[in-house]
Amino acid sequence: MDFLNDKFECLAKTFFGLENVLADEIELLGGTNVKILNRAVGFTCDKKLLYGANLSLRTALRILVPLAKVNLSDAKDLYKAAMKIDWTKIFNFDKTISVNSYATEPFFRNSNYAALLVKDAISDTFTKKLGSRPDVEKRNPDIVIDVYVNQKQAVISIDASGDSLHRRGYRLEKNLAPLNEVLAAGIILLSEWDGKTTFIDSMCGSGTLPIEAAMIAKNIPPNLRRKNFAFKQWKNFDIFLYNKVRNTLKRNISDSNTRVIGSDVDREAVTISISNAERANVDDYVEFYVAPFEEFSPPDGKKHLIINPPYDERIKKEDIIEFYKMIGNTLKNTYVDTTAWIFTGNNIARKAIGLKPSRKIPLYNGPIESRLLKFEIYEGSRKKSVTDEPT
């Protein structure tokens, strides 16, 4: 098998609800045969696109390249399938490896057994061919293998990203309840922000939403500064092609006149946001303020607001119902001419906002079932309040 010499299938993984925006991103990058799957998008790739996708997809968590798809009649078939892959052509024995697995019955009571079989097959292939085998390393492996067994079907893939792509490298400091960077980018893309209207997050915490928005406005690939991608450890890593792809992406970064604003009542959160923005190289672009939402004066004109208020879970509020009422009142009174999106996991308190959402998008924030709610705020919104908003 020639490893990734021409076109090959890839799978980009994401969060529930972000599959469509990820598919749009992949199509825009030139991916073909784009298929929407459950928490993933399949597409046809080549090496150039694989490098570009890892550097620039905002809503992908990792990119896998399937190496074998097999039907199993017992657990040992997984070992046999893994033995058919010539691992020695893919990476050197001096690399460290880790195998992640997900496996269901009937053949696997626990996923670790599936991982163990594939690990054994990799070791046996190397030992037979070269007399030496790669070491297993759980925390920082060079090579990551993914095994997925659903019922009687198994897919063995190699992970091109390694560490999750949400680790952009800018958010070394965080507040109590930060949004995952991939989720934050997904929320902005779902909100259909045009990149031109003033963007505001007036409960910005560690700054994830404004920083991701700034990177979108300036066309900055989110992982441009990241050094570690697992594909760099593969035998076929083409450093010239990688540098070419990276330099082109760098050249496509543009200036933007759009205002991106972050504010928070918590001074420490704003200090963290500024440090994070510095690391993301957007500190001279995003404006940060310390202010309570209810007192902050947004600029005149059209605005695109996205906030992720406390849910009363990790960040507690004395009276969460009153807090959400205050959000609704502030929107009506100070945010005229605004498309406002609220991302919340508090499904009771959100009804106290007192405005009728024009869209409700189900998402998860970690394990918390959440909603991304859209409110169009215009001059007449004050009169149109609703007191009891149905789910």
Q: By C-alpha distance, which of 348, 350, 352 is closest to 373? A: 350
Angstrom distance (rounded) from CA 277 to CA 212: 9
Distant-in-sequence, close-in-space partners of 303: CB < 8 Å, separation ≥ 6 = 197, 198, 199, 200, 335, 337, 338, 339
Supply angle C-alpha 32, 38, 44, rounded to 5.
15
Each residue 193-232 as x (binds ligand SAM by CB under 6 A) or -, in order, gives ---------xxxxx-xx-----------------------
Pick 147 or 187: Cβ nearer ligand SAM: 187
H or E element in which residue 305 lies:
strand 303-307
Contact stretch for ligand SAM (CB under 6 A) within 40-48, 72-80, 94-102, 173-181: 173-181
Alpha helices in the chain, H assignment, sequence order? 19-29, 47-56, 76-83, 111-130, 181-190, 208-217, 239-251, 267-279, 320-334
Alpha helices in 10-130, H assignment, sequence order? 19-29, 47-56, 76-83, 111-130
Pick 60 or 272: Cβ nearer ligand SAM: 272
Least Å distance, CB 293 to ligand SAM, is: 3
Compute the half-sphere exposure of residue 237: CA atoms within 13 Å on the CB side of its CA: 17
Identified binder of ligand SAM from the candidate list 178, 221, 262, 298, rule CB under 6 A: 178
- The residues in 282-311 that bind ligand SAM, with binding defined as CB under 6 A, are 292-294, 308-310
Per CB under 6 A, does 266 bind ligand SAM?
A: yes
Residue with tokens 């798809």: 69
Contact stretch for ligand SAM (CB under 6 A) within 71-79, 87-95, 149-157, 259-267: 259-267
Identified binder of ligand SAM from the candidate list 45, 72, 78, 179, rule CB under 6 A: 179
Distant-in-sequence, close-in-space partners of 353: CB < 8 Å, separation ≥ 6 = 324, 325, 327, 328, 331, 342, 373, 375, 389
Instruction: Name the β-bridge partners of 263.
Output: 289
Least Å distance, CB 268 to ligand SAM, is: 9
Pick 161 or 276: Cβ nearer ligand SAM: 276
Least Å distance, CB 53 to ligand SAM, is: 24
Pick 233 or 339: Cβ nearer ligand SAM: 339
Least Å distance, CB 270 to ligand SAM, is: 9
Per CB under 6 A, does 330 bind ligand SAM?
A: no
Identified binder of ligand SAM from the candidate list 253, 315, 336, 361, rule CB under 6 A: 315
Identified binder of ligand SAM from the candidate list 154, 158, 269, 282, rule CB under 6 A: 269
- The residues in 84-143 that bind ligand SAM, with binding defined as CB under 6 A, are none
Pick 30 or 292: Cβ nearer ligand SAM: 292
Pick 142 or 312: Cβ nearer ligand SAM: 312
Q: What residue type is 388 in one-letter code? A: D
Backbone angles phi, psi at 199, to 5 degrees: -105, 130
Identified binder of ligand SAM from the candidate list 265, 290, 321, 368, rule CB under 6 A: 265
Q: Which residue is nearest to ligand SAM, using beta carbons?
A: 205
Each as own residue / partner, the long-range contacts of residues 21-28 (CB below 8 Å, 24 or more positions apart, any chain) are 21/59, 21/186, 21/189, 21/190, 22/57, 22/59, 22/60, 22/186, 24/189, 25/57, 25/58, 25/59, 25/60, 25/189, 26/53, 26/57
Pick 101 or 208: Cβ nearer ligand SAM: 208
Positions that interact with ligand SAM (CB under 6 A): 175, 177-179, 202-206, 208-209, 264-266, 269, 292-294, 308-310, 315
